[in-house]
A and B are shown apart, each in its own frame.
Chain A
Amino acid sequence: EAQVTQNPRYLITVTGKKLTVTCSQNMNHEYMSWYRQDPGLGLRQIYYSMNVEVTDKGDVPEGYKVSRKEKRNFPLILESPSPNQTSLYFCASSPNNPKTQYFGPGTRLLVL
Chain B
Amino acid sequence: AQSVAQPEDQVNVAEGNPLTVKCTYSVSGNPYLFWYVQYPNRGLQFLLKYITGDNLVKGSYGFEAEFNKSQTSFHLKKPSALVSDSALYFCAAPDTGRRALTFGSGTRLQVQP
Check if B106 sits within 8 Å of A42, measured CB to CB.
yes
Q: Which of A69-112 contact B (CB under 8 A)?
A: 90, 92, 97-106
Size of B's binding interface in residues, CB under 8 A: 21
Chain A interface mostly helix, strand, loop or mixed? strand
Q: Is B44 an interface position by the 8 A CB rule? A: yes
Using Cβ atoms and an 8 Å threshold, which residues of chain B touch A99? 32, 34, 49, 94, 101
Given A42-B106, A97-B94, A98-B94, check contact A103 B43 (CB 8 Å).
yes
B45 touches A (CB below 8 Å) = yes
**A104 to B, closest residue via Cβ:** B43
A98 adjacent to B105 (CB under 8 Å): no
Chain B residues in 8 Å Cβ range of A41: 105
Residue of B nearest to A41 (CB): B105
B80-96 to A contact mask, C-beta < 8 Å, 1/0: 00000000001000100
Contact B105 A58 (CB under 8 A): no
Question: Could you show 22 A-B contacts with beta carbons less than 8 Å apart?
Answer: A4-B43, A33-B100, A40-B9, A40-B105, A42-B90, A42-B103, A42-B105, A43-B90, A44-B103, A45-B100, A48-B99, A48-B100, A56-B99, A59-B100, A90-B44, A92-B44, A98-B101, A100-B46, A101-B44, A103-B45, A105-B42, A106-B42
| A residues in contact (CB < 8 Å) with B | 4, 31, 33, 35, 40-45, 48, 50, 56, 58-59, 90, 92, 97-106
Give me 10 other A-B pairs in contact (C-beta within 8 A), A43-B44, A99-B49 excluded.
Answer: A4-B43, A35-B103, A40-B9, A42-B103, A42-B104, A48-B100, A56-B99, A58-B100, A101-B101, A104-B43
